[in-house]
Chain A
């Protein structure tokens, strides 16, 4: 477990009386793409926000590249690139200014060269001097990736990167995630299961703040039925849970 890039231990997050994340534990090794699955409100975003240092945990903890997200927060944050669900942008900046800003703020000395490289990586070179307000939704999504990659972090946390974009772009994003997964640890959330099946080495299924299953998609499927889809696995697990709860 020591070589894990993401290590979550009995992590709990409460908002008042509501428990958003309930004692979850999982980890991700270098070069692994882990999918965080679950219905809306399962606790995916909250988990990611704790991992990125945006929210402190109520109980338990998490480490990024060996750095505790609470006690060694700055070092943990240095190692994470984060793409929130709604890509946050400064509409009055150009693509290049925006990526450069984040590269600099996250301490890249060669920020200019890095920004250009990242912009090329996400295929926005032709738009580098375009104001962000004039970008299409798909382009904004790619810009979001560029921002997350600006400081070349070993860990990437992507919150629903395929939400609200057209099918061609979904395929693009999938390819990008798979590509990035070769060199980086990627944690990405989705509620579209076929997507996770295509991209992830491992999945963690969250339901009502708890982990209800985790493992390789193929293993999870085999457990249920030889020809089962991840969707069927998911429904069977959530269904059982619901039945058990009542």
Chain B
């Protein structure tokens, strides 16, 4: 119930601030241009990739997720409303969960908008819709996980720019973990790197039309752990004043 109240506030915030629209427009512009390019190529050389948009977003979210979450706690602290939130009879985790669901709902809305590309695709070729669906489910979970990583840094610092920057660095490292894994000829080492990597649980599974329980569990796990950490950070800040 508490989370629902915070969720409503959060989603209203996303839908009334120009910044969220700017991010939304940037995402749609980027995916639109690349989709258009892929479509042109598909007429001559290769069939259009049904997982194209989710794959683009898997990289783009390294930058967009921290931008969407940077103000989340930083702003509450700057305005002083954090003090009221933390003195309301609610648990930190409920607040964190509500805020996360708000951001995730906004991301879901953006994803739905990119569905327009799939509609265009269906009208001119016969794409593998199962493949597309798998990729979309994958990027939905992947996006949720990147948002929670961004939230951790928003909770850590009062400065929005610092929060966004640290979030991007962390996500870039998680993204590169997969690339790092590819450098190793030792299969065990490569597997360890891949296990830690966001990209490793997306590009070779969801984006290839493959839905595996372990990948779903990985993203759900990241979301749960990061939300828990965020709530712990808020809790610990009480103790440090």
Specify the chain B residue showing the minimal Cβ separation from A13.
B241
Least Cβ–Cβ distance between B160 and chain A, in angstroms: 16
| Count of chain A residues near B, Cβ 8 A | 28
Q: Which residue of B lies closest to A77 (CB)?
A: B89
Q: A54-B86, A56-B238, A82-B87 are in contact. Are A101 and B5 (CB under 8 A)?
A: yes
A158–B65 alpha-carbon span in the complex (Å): 38
A52 to B86, CA, bound (A): 9
Chain B residues whose CB sits within 8 angstroms of the CB of A80 once the complex forms: 87
Cα–Cα, bound, A107→B88 (Å): 9
B5 touches A55 (CB 8 A): no
B79 lies within 8 A of A89 (CB): yes
B239 touches A56 (CB 8 A): yes
Given A92-B17, A105-B2: A55 touches B84 (CB 8 Å cut-off) = no
CA distance A55 to B90 in the complex (A): 15
- In the bound complex, what is the Cα–Cα distance between A55 and B80 (angstroms)? 14
> Contacts of A147 on B, CB cut-off 8 Å?
84
Are A75 and B9 in touch, CB under 8 angstroms? no
Cβ contact of B241, chosen from A15, A52, A74, A88, cutoff 8 A: A15
Count of chain B residues near A, Cβ 8 A: 23
Chain B positions 89-121 with a Cβ under 8 Å from a chain A Cβ: 89-91
Residues from chain B with a CB closer than 8 A to the CB of A49 are 83
> Can you list, as one digit per residue, whether each of A88-102 has a CB less than 8 Å from chain B (1) or not (0)?
111110000000011
Judge if A222 is at the interface, Cβ distance under 8 Å: no
Minimal Cβ-Cβ distance residue in B for A111: B5
Query: Which residue of the partner chain, among A54, A78, A88, contacts B79 with CB atoms under 8 Å?
Result: A88
Smallest CB separation, B84 vs chain A (Å)? 5
With known contacts A55-B238, A101-B9, A92–B16 Cβ distance under 8 A = yes
Assess whether B88 is in contact with A77, with CB atoms less than 8 Å apart.
yes
B58 CB to closest chain A CB (Å) equals: 32
Say yes or no: A105 contacts B81, CB within 8 Å: no
Closest Cβ neighbor of A107 among chain B residues? B89
Per CB-CB distance, the 9 closest pairs between chain A and chain B, nearest first, are A88-B80, A77-B89, A52-B87, A88-B81, A78-B89, A74-B89, A104-B5, A54-B87, A105-B88
Residues of B whose CB lies within 8 Å of any CB of A are 2, 5-6, 9, 13, 16-17, 79-91, 238-239, 241
Residues of A at under 8 Å CB distance from B?
15, 49, 52-56, 74-75, 77-78, 80, 82, 84, 86-92, 101-102, 104-107, 147
